């Protein structure tokens, strides 16, 4: 008999994954969410809280990009940190602060080498362009670069 697909993914990082491994994380809003993640004020706070998590050592954000209904991030987690718990706490904070409704769970994929990292970073940066939200990746305002650096002019309305 074939084993059924699990109803819930637990995102447990195997013990053999080295400390500092980078994960591509995608978190989607639920279909009934009415608050765009790129709404002025909301986006600023979300990016600031992502930077705060990096500063506090909860995660290290290599790249964090907001889209209207989802986000992409390249994040490393401390060896003793549980990815699912850390992301759940961050999502819960955003729900309390802004009323954002998230889909349950999230997507994660461990990047295995520099080439994968470069490809995934390029994919994430092109996401707003592919979705018709801007002309070039360089002008997208709702992004944090490695360690939480905002692009110049990112706080302009």
Instruction: Tell me, yes or no, whether 15 lies in a domain.
Output: no
pLDDT for 154 equals 34
Per-residue pLDDT reduced to its tens digit, 76-131: 998 777 899 999 999 999 999 999 999 998 999 999 999 999 999 999 999 999 99
C-alpha 72/C-alpha 78 separation (Å) is 19
* Domain of residue 113, CATH code: 3.30.70.1290
Q: Could you tell me the pLDDT band of residue 35, with boundaries at 50, 70 and 90?
A: very high
pLDDT at 142 over 60: yes
pLDDT tens digits, one per residue of 39-80: 999 999 999 999 999 999 999 999 999 999 999 999 999 877
Query: Quick one: tokens of 95?
Result: 């729900």
Cα 39 to Cα 42, 46, 55, 86, 88: the distances in Å are 5, 10, 24, 24, 21
Q: Is residue 128 part of a domain?
A: yes
Specify the pLDDT at position 149. 57
At 9 the pLDDT is 45
pLDDT tens-digit map of 11-21:
455 454 566 78
Q: Indicate whether 85 belongs to any domain.
A: yes
Residue 156 has pLDDT above 50, yes or no: no
**pLDDT value, residue 2:** 59
Residue 36 pLDDT level (bands cut at 50, 70, 90): very high
Residue 54 lies in a domain: yes
Residue corresponding to tokens 């994954």: 17
Q: Which domain holds residue 31?
A: 22-150
| Rounded-to-integer distance, Cα 121 and Cα 127, Å | 10
The answer as to whether 79 is a domain residue is yes
Q: Residue 3 above 70 pLDDT?
A: no
Asked if residue 2 belongs to a domain, the reply is: no
Residue 81 has a pLDDT of: 74
In a domain, 155, yes or no: no
pTM: 0.83
Which residues, at least 6 apart from 103, have a Cβ–Cβ distance to it below 8 Å? 27, 28, 29, 30
Total domains present in the chain: 1
Distances (CA, A) of 35 to 97, 98, 102: 12, 8, 11
């Amino acid at each position: 008999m074939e084993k059924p697909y699990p109803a819930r993914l637990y995102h447990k990082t195997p013990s053999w994954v080295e400390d500092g491994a980078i994960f591509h994380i995608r978190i989607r809003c639920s279909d009934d969410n009415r608050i765009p993640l790129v709404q002025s004020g909301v986006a600023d706070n979300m990016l600031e809280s992502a930077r705060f998590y990096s500063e506090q050592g909860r995660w290290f954000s290599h790249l964090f990009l907001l889209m209207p209904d989802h986000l992409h991030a390249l994040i490393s987690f401390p060896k003793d940190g549980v990815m699912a718990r850390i992301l759940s706490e961050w999502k819960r904070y955003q729900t309390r602060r802004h009323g954002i409704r998230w889909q349950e769970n999230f997507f994660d994929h461990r990047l295995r080498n520099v080439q994968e990292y470069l490809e995934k970073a390029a994919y994430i940066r092109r996401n707003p362009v592919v979705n018709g939200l801007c002309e070039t990746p360089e002008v997208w305002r709702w992004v944090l670069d490695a360690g939480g650096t905002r692009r110049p002019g990112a706080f302009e309305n």
